[in-house]
Structure 1
Amino acid sequence: MPELNPPPLNLPDFSSVTGEHWIETLQDGSHVLIRPLRAEDREREKAFIQRLSPESRHQRFLGEIVDPGPVLMNQLMNVDTHNRVAYVALAHDNGVLQEVGISRYAASGAEHECECAITVADDWQHRGLGTLLMKHLIAAARKNHFTRMYSIDSASNVHMRKLADDLHFSRERDPDDATQVIHRLSLQD
């Protein structure tokens, strides 16, 4: 017999969030808020990068970044609603709203093409968050009339390889660096 009064869902309180946003349920049942990155997220973004493991920081930036300086932070926070888009995933941790993932794209300079990147906090990986973030990013790129998306990744980045395979990106060796691969996705339906 079905339960008449199921237990209430333990959803985080995102009541102060306005504008474009989504509350998503991950594979493990946890919930995150996904929304566009905002100027007031600067310190949260910096703290997120600092909390990443050295391996995750290396995979994201293809180099050693320990403490993101002002120049990098300015670049990461430079977003708009068309050519430079970023979606942040937020979750409550002991009453504090923390960044647990981010996806972003930037117009590459080639017509209708953008470069993308995604990062998920180490303890939030393998829950489907990367896929959700990337799907929102792909939808935004399509809405903004981009027809191609690509990502340059370390050849050893197994997480990105799996995500790229799941989302039907193609893969090729980077002709300029044998330690890297280029994932490409056609955004045309």
Structure 2
Amino acid sequence: MPNVHHADHAPTPAAPFGAIEGTHWIDTLNDGSPVLIRPLRPEDRQRETDFINRLSEQACRFRFLGNLKEASPALLDQLMDVDYQDRMAFVALAHDNGELREVGVSRYSASGDDRQCECAVTVADDWRHRGLGVLLMRRLIDIARKNGFRRMFSIDAAENEPMRELADYLGFRRRLDPDDAAQAIHTLDF
């Protein structure tokens, strides 16, 4: 179990983040590497751009279910559009050559039914197999539950073995998409 240090700070009254604004965690990964996990903020746009542009072709295909050459402004607008209730994202940041770099992100977005949300998690290729995906998803599951959601799901490439393993580890049920056998649907009820 990773060491977790939780720090909550009082939000400023005009903050768009609500009570989650000052929340952040310093977590230690399985290999001892420290990471800062906190809610995504508007000023993270360039970090998000750099993160996506650094992903391998396979990681992009698994995350976006298709080929992505670079993060377009429209895609970034969508990814940065969080309201901390119906659309939430957590970023994992680590020091890299004197710079704070995004190394992972988890997010959910409410689906048509307000008691369900679709989720996604992406970890930088050079930060995989350290437990970061688990930490990011646990934060996401916790806030989704607190925000009143009862089910979380993800639609992934059926061949995405890392997501299958992560979903299984976290207790998600898996089934092939009845409309597209190349996709799997992972579901977690809480």
CA radius of gyration, larger in: 1
Same-fold call, TM > 0.5?
A: yes
Letter in 2 for 1:157: N
2:129 maps to 1:129: no
- Structure 1 residue 111: Cα displacement: 3.2
The residue aligned with 2:105 is 102
Q: 1:43 aligns with which of 40, 46, 55?
A: 46
Q: Deviations over 1:165-189 (max 9, x none)?
A: 10010001111111000000001xx
Between the aligned partners of 1:111 and 1:185, the Cα distance in structure 2 is 15
2:63 maps to 1:60: yes
Instruction: Classify the secondary structure of the residue corresponding to 1:87.
Output: strand
**Structure 1 runs not aligned, ≥5 long:** 1-17
The residue aligned with 1:83 is 86
The residue aligned with 2:11 is none
Aligned 1:1-189 pairs, distance under 5 A? 19-187=22-190
Q: TM-score, normalised by structure 2?
A: 0.88
- Structure 1 residue 109: Cα displacement: 1.1
The residue aligned with 1:3 is none
Q: Deviations over 1:47-100 (max 9, x none)?
A: 000000000000000001111111100000000110000000000001000000
Q: TM-score, normalised by structure 1?
A: 0.89
- Structure 1 residue 20: Cα displacement: 0.5
Letter in 1 for 2:156: D
Instruction: Classify the secondary structure of the residue corresponding to 1:99.
Output: strand
**Structure 1 segments of 4+ aligned residues over 4 angstroms from their partners:** none
The residue aligned with 1:12 is none
